[in-house]
A and B are shown apart, each in its own frame.
Chain A
């Protein structure tokens, strides 16, 4: 580490010991000010992402070594308009700046990141920071756009009025970064009159007005309005927010995104699945038969495959989300969708996670981070798995083709297709209904106001977009992947141990823990028409919904791969009543039959509480739906 090298121009600093003496810098700024881009420019790839203790807020930290060898730790704090925190994210920003965040070293210097073309609100934030007394530097980011617009900013005047150095930067081109770093070092040396926590109280409305007037005065004195203001944003908004054209464009964008996630990821996912099957087969040939072989092939390799297979969908979805965010369209989409989603008590931005959940709930749940408000986000997470994901299709296909006659009804409509479509619709309607109930019954406190800045449109920076997308993939593999893998191995364990005694009849799974559990829960599932074989198949089916098809094949001892589906269907048609089959379909609309989803919910909410709640309510719904379906069907003579 270069930390031991202390440059001659910093004589007042003792050579820092290898750790602990790094300068701690926090980035604070309005949303859309290019804070993340500046963070990337400062720290490059030396970043790590975690969660703040006990909350779901993401903690991004990076490292930087200044020209003189001084080490800096940069903390990227959530965007905010004021230190008067209104959300858990903003509480983190406030407490970090005030130095009262448990487990965090208070920052030595705060960099206030401003969009140089939109200074009004950030100047008030800078004044709030000044009042706290922590040494601060104002970074006028995107100064190139301001120059292009002919916006004249008197940096000296601004600096004098705010009492902090002002540095123009262009994060995406690394312009001004060195100046910013040396300004931060100078500030750290000067120190500040740090009032910290005791010098700060939440401002009243009158104080906000006073601060705003002061910011307004500074703005008038130091900034001359642009000679060539951005007219593109207005022209684009005329189309993109148009009641008809805007909605059509939005639907087209969402449709394109959905197609890309659903269809575009498919070949890569098939390739990954095939690759892991190949690997598993190759390993199987080198190992002797036995438990170890089963653990490695069916437990570990299949488990890792189960994690990696989600990656293409996650990367494609986040590519879209980050592009839409960076361009500035995401806020417009929320504007257009606010009323539709608001009817069900959801935020306008909940549309994107819910739409993605039609492909798979895992990228969908990860995408809920576009929603800032915690309760809106949790509601969306809770209902996302009710959207019919692609993993349900093989199960629906199997049962529908085995039990629903292939005839047309109501003048040309295929009955099978109709059943299939109603399962989709049932999922969607119940998701909206559950969201409504959560909002009305459990969270009866006031609805969050919808009050949001619509940023100017910007051309996204490819490097930043790719870095953000890669970061999402990395977070998924590191954080959610480990939980998914351990769940997969647990399920393997349940389905394999204890093994089948020599010479015993029937499939091996009957003798395993899963078999025992299946028999144990059979009395509970009997009222909804499930046989013990169906109950047993539910345990391996927790690995992923489509695994239930293979699991049914195992318990009914129908061997063979894809081609055996017809055989399995015929076998099921003999053994199940129509009522049981319909109850099984109803069960699959609601049941939390996916350990990976629960793992991702755990990761995204940073607690086991929410996956447990999700498991409980979805199981209850599934049981109720299957019960009603079964009883009605039996009553109509389908038993």
Chain B
């Protein structure tokens, strides 16, 4: 019985891994995008920026979408979420990173899977954080949602 000498091409195996990974990423990305399209209400594009109902609204940074601008009114009232560090420790870490009352926040970017984590402009810095950690950051909305 003759056996052909097997010479594997490690490059092709690696290429397969990369392409596979990319496909998984794209699939997951699209899944969440489609899900978001189905579940999110139509965007409030018609509402002027100065609309009182918008500017006076308080919301958690965790619920914001890209383009949201606001001023922090409160940090840390959120209860400890399962699997996260305790609320007091998280509050201090947020404060140390510059998330303090009065600081201006804008959501610049969202992660490509489930829109998480988010990248925000925080005064003149840029900070990345997960939505889970952003839960306790309460904003007075100035623009966006």
Residues of chain A at the chain B interface (Cβ within 8 Å): 81-82, 84, 86, 118, 120-121, 124, 203-205, 208-209, 212-213, 225, 229, 233-234, 237, 241-244, 246-247, 251, 255, 258, 262-263, 331, 334-336, 338-340, 358, 390, 393, 396-397, 400-402, 404-406, 416-417, 420-421, 424-425, 428, 446-456, 566, 569, 573
Contacts and interface: CB of A to CB of B under 8 A. Distances in A.
B27 interface: no
Contacts of A339: 111-114, 116-117
A486 to B, nearest CB: 31
A447 B119 contact: no
Contact of A120 (B25, B93, B110, B125): B125
Contacts of B110: 243
Interface of B: 3-8, 10-14, 16-18, 21-22, 25, 29, 76, 83-86, 88, 90-98, 100-101, 108-114, 116-117, 119, 123-130, 132-133
Contacts of A242: 109
Nearest to A124: B96
A86 B124 contact: no
A121 B124 contact: no
Nearest to B130: A450
Contacts, number: 166
Nearest to A416: B6
B94 A451 contact: yes
Contact of A209 (B100, B124, B132): B100
A404 B4 CA distance: 10
A400 B97 contact: no
24 contacts: A205-B76, A208-B92, A209-B100, A243-B29, A246-B112, A247-B25, A255-B18, A262-B10, A334-B128, A338-B128, A393-B10, A396-B8, A400-B6, A401-B7, A420-B13, A421-B16, A446-B83, A447-B84, A450-B133, A451-B129, A452-B127, A453-B128, A454-B119, A455-B126
B119 A401 contact: no
Contacts of A450: 117, 128-130, 133
A141 B112 CA distance: 35
B113 A209 contact: no
Given A448-B85, A451-B128, A451-B129, 13 more contacts: A121-B97, A208-B92, A229-B124, A237-B126, A243-B29, A339-B114, A340-B25, A397-B6, A421-B13, A421-B16, A424-B13, A446-B83, A453-B128
A203 B88 CA distance: 12
Nearest to A399: B6
A229 B91 CA distance: 30
Given A393-B8, A400-B8, A449-B130, A120 B123 contact: yes
A404 B6 contact: yes
Nearest to A339: B113
Given A400-B8, A420-B8, A446-B85, A243 B98 contact: no
B127 A453 contact: yes
B133 to A, nearest CB: 5
B86 A446 contact: yes
Given A84-B92, A447-B84, A335 B6 contact: no
A401 B130 CA distance: 48
A73 B125 CA distance: 33
B6 A208 contact: no
A258 B112 CA distance: 23
Top 10 nearest A-B pairs by Cβ distance?
A401-B6, A243-B112, A406-B4, A454-B126, A339-B113, A241-B109, A446-B85, A208-B95, A416-B6, A335-B128
Contacts of B14: 258, 262, 358
A82 to B, nearest CB: 5
Contacts of A406: 3-4, 6
Contacts of B112: 243-244, 246-247, 336, 339
A424 B97 contact: no
Contacts of B132: 449
Contacts of A336: 111-112
B109 to A, nearest CB: 4
B119 A335 contact: yes
A405 B3 contact: yes
